[in-house]
Structure 1
């Protein structure tokens, strides 16, 4: 039977990085992973980044719906259409505001019998855990029914912070195994069993946020990336973009995480949806994005 592994975690916690690690680990061990990736806006931008590691026919992007409620039927159908493979494993990355408890309750119903009951991995950014003001409740919800909790950014904090966060996580989910992202190995996953932990109820509207996207023209310099990210208010918790910088022949991907950190890296290939700017968070709108873009372009010249 084929394992289904659902990866959840707050925006910017490191879910996609962990997903890439698991995909590469699977390929090295001659497993055949199938990846389903969900995001509010343009999930294809992230799945394109996996196309060098896995055949695109084994990648499925689900955009614009919340897979813990309105998109659950689409998710079930996508899973049930996954072809049978030797040594197959299905990896699902949920968007960063998913009501993880509801997702696991809904996903376990109506899945083909050739799949094992889904298990959930929560990715926790130990540096920013429970420092998200009004969004702390959602972040805590995302660990309560996970079988495995994977810690990221441990090198950014001291031992006291690590021990404190581990204690909080154990209190929220006593049955979960808590490990570092460095020690996670794919072969551990089929042995993990679904969590039996009872979760506290989350008002579901707290997992529903605004999102928006616009076409992104070439930017004149890397400084314009910083100008653009800084032109967006702090209520926007996640910023992603991909475009050409100056006269460079390749695309560049950038993101601003909820803590304000900006990360920039070369994008492999060309995005199939074209150059885009995407945001998630209260107040996201095309008007806001276009205003920020115009301000950034004028400030960078």
Structure 2
């Protein structure tokens, strides 16, 4: 982790970009610890595409965290991020601001929001860390053309690319990823790892970002929230997940199950794989579903059946 830049009057900013389910929040948690260990004062800005903020609830109360909901900071919330950065500078003056963009955000637009003329004397040129699930990136042609293009551009503009779940990559797959990423006009530094381990990463400060050509927004992705009234049957949940179409890209939130009605679980689902992690705090039993052209009425009906069975 780089020490605070020479200009003490400016905040260093690092943007975490990467598609849904790539491991950005785990990386964020590691970066927070690394910053604290180096004596830096750190602040967090988290963007959730939906109206329920899952990830900031996982960071605890000892870190200054600002949540931007119901939109994407690369388009509809650009003005909001400028306001938040101004407030952070004047009220908290952190050494480092970590921004976790929603999985469908374009990093160039986030940089643009951070470099508004009113912020030039307060914020350094942001560094961008791209995070990917290596195998899923290699399989990106299974998604729509727009989604595939966004996944590629999130890496194209990154100074560093963290390739997660690298132990699942064969030697040929690793070589294919390296050749693809290093073929960029401005090749990023590559970091193959598991669980977003960032030992050895040095984050550049105030490094110029080359922005060329037209970049895309992803307006075809939607989100919806659903709150359960109590514990649910795990087997019925599994049946629900098995019936989901490929257009469902991500589900995350908090659940309780009939088998352990007092235990709350952080639930995550991406690329057809569910994950359950015990949660110490008693969180609201709400999940966020993100996907392309969601049939919200159909999904809500299925979730009602799951909720009230």
* TM-score normalised by the chain length of structure 2: 0.85
Q: d(CA) in 2 for partners of 1:78 and 1:95? A: 16
Alignment of 1:123-142 (within 5 A): 123-132=131-140, 133-134=143-144, 135-142=147-154
The verdict on how the C-alpha distance between 1:173 and 1:262 changes in structure 2, with shifts beyond 3 A counting, is: farther
* TM-score normalised by the chain length of structure 1: 0.87
Runs of at least 5 residues in structure 2 that lack an aligned partner in the other structure: 1-9
- State the partner residue of 1:7: 16
Kindly tell me the number of residue pairs found equivalent between the two proteins. 291
- Give CA deviations for 1:86-118 in whole Å, capped at 9, x if unaligned: 872110000001122232233322325232111
Aligned mate of 1:143, from 140, 143, 155: 155
The DSSP-based 3-state class of the residue aligned with 1:82 is helix
- Does residue 107 (structure 1) correspond to residue 100 (structure 2)? The answer is no
- State the partner residue of 2:4: none
- State the partner residue of 2:299: 289
The verdict on how the C-alpha distance between 1:262 and 1:277 changes in structure 2, with shifts beyond 3 A counting, is: same
Q: d(CA) in 2 for partners of 1:80 and 1:167? A: 40
The verdict on how the C-alpha distance between 1:179 and 1:123 changes in structure 2, with shifts beyond 3 A counting, is: same
* Displacement after TM superposition at 1:85 (Å): 5.5
* Structure 1 stretches of 4+ moved >4 Å: 83-87
The DSSP-based 3-state class of the residue aligned with 2:83 is helix
The two structures, once aligned, show a CA RMSD in angstroms of 2.4
- State the partner residue of 2:181: 169
Do the aligned partners of 2:220 and 2:292 also contact (CA within 8 Å) in 1? no
Alignment of 1:77-226 (within 5 A): 77-83=83-89, 88-109=95-116, 110-111=118-119, 113-132=121-140, 133-134=143-144, 135-181=147-193, 184-185=198-199, 188-189=202-203, 191-204=204-217, 206-226=218-238
180-189 or 119-128, larger mean C-alpha shift: 180-189
Q: d(CA) in 1 for partners of 2:202 and 2:219? A: 30
The verdict on how the C-alpha distance between 1:227 and 1:294 changes in structure 2, with shifts beyond 3 A counting, is: farther
63-72 or 24-33, larger mean C-alpha shift: 24-33
Aligned mate of 1:74, from 76, 80, 102: 80
